[in-house]
Amino acid sequence: MFFSRVDQSSTPYRAVFLAFSLVVPSLLLSACMSSEKDVNLATYVDQTEPADVLYNQGLANLNAGRLDEASKKFDAVDRQHPYSEFARKSMVMGAFADYRAGNYDEAIGSAKRYLTLYPSTDDAPYAQYIIGLSYYRQIKDVTQDQKEARQTVQTMQDLVTRWPTSEYVDDAKDKIRFATDQLAGKEMQIGRYYLERREYIAAVKRFRTVVETYSNTRHVEEALARLTEAYYAMGLTSEAQTAAAVLGNNYPDSQWYKDSYKLLQSNGLQPRENAGSWISKAGKLITGA
């Protein structure tokens, strides 16, 4: 009870409590007597149903595609039977229902709550997977902010690390590859913007990030060609030659390599790798997409 927190030896608090206990019933009685219609208090009380009944109703609604109804049933289990085994199951299934309904923030919130309360259960990797999927579904095209792509990578990587034998790991890795490719694509988009405006230093920074950080994406090929172009325009011919050489070593049949080769040849240069260059060192990590 609330009043159990009050020091019962304190006379003023006892007086307040007694006064409160005497006045409130009088007020309630007065309110009831003055009311023209009787109030049905039952309308303000949840109609409690067995946990298994509510849970199965939630599953039935979920399977029928009535996602909002399913979410409500799972929520009712958690609310009416918070300490039951069905409440634990309902929490993660409610998160899934919200995900299916496109209510991604709610799905993420419920799944995170589940992981906080039950981090070591069999359904914990599934809750983590739902969080990752909810971020994944919100990834935007590369012209927009890639916050959700970064969150997808982090969440799915946590899944792979914490539950390496989970049935969700393979798909999590696929989602990581897609989201990583998006992040690289965003860097390329910004890099091209700077390159077109002859802001070469800023452009190089972006293309370098792609080569060093996202070396397993499809964007590395173009990034090396753009580095050749930017360094050549800056008069840094050794770096331009190295970028073209690394490009040719990894993608010898690429049109990007042919264009880079042609650019160097226009000034009597050939692709030639400088082993001390950061590009040469980063090139050893390139795996391609």
Task: Let me know whether 104 and 144 are in one domain.
Answer: yes
- Establish how many alpha carbons lie within 13 A of residue 270's alpha carbon, considering only the half-sphere containing its beta carbon: 1
pLDDT of residue 202: 98
How large a percentage of the chain has pLDDT more than 70? 83
Query: 196 and 169 share a domain?
Result: no
- Please report which confidence band the pLDDT of residue 201 belongs to, taking 50, 70 and 90 as the band edges: very high
Question: Which residue segment(s) compose the domain that 120 sits in?
Answer: 82-181
Spatial distance between the Cα atoms of 66 and 71, rounded to a whole number of angstroms? 9
Check whether residue 201 and residue 123 sit in a common domain: no
Do 151 and 219 lie in a common domain? no
Looking at the structure of the chain, the number of domains it has is 2
Residues 7-22 have a mean pLDDT of: 36
Domain end point (choices 142, 158, 181): 181
When pLDDT is cut at 50, 70 and 90, the band that residue 129 belongs to is very high
Q: Give yes or no for residue 87 having a pLDDT over 50.
A: yes
Do residue 211 and residue 164 come from a single domain?
Answer: no
Say if CB 104 and CB 138 are below 8 A apart. Answer: yes
Mean of pLDDT values over 261-288:
93
Q: What is the largest CA-CA distance in the chain?
A: 103
Q: Is the same domain home to 162 and 214?
A: no
Q: What is the pLDDT of residue 17?
A: 36
Which 8-state DSSP code applies to residue 139?
P
| 2 assigned to some structural domain | no
- The string of pLDDT tens digits covering residues 151-179 is 999 999 999 999 999 999 999 999 999 99
Angle, CA of 130, 135 and 136, to the nearest 5°: 90
> How many residues appear in the chain?
289
* pLDDT tens for each residue of 98-109: 999 999 999 999
- Range in 15-29, 109-123, 137-151, 202-216 the model is least confident about: 15-29
- pLDDT, greater one: 259 or 87: 259
- Quick check: is 172 in a domain? yes
Please give the model's pTM, rounded to 2 decimal places: 0.79
Pair (157, 100) in one structural domain: yes
Residue 243 lies in a domain: yes
For residues 192 and 234, membership in a common domain is answered with: yes
pLDDT at position 289? 54
Quick one: tokens of 214? 């996202």
The answer to whether residue 269 is domain-embedded is yes
Which tokens go with 146? 């890639």
Q: Are 239 and 260 in contact (CB under 8 A)?
A: no
Mean pLDDT of the chain: 86
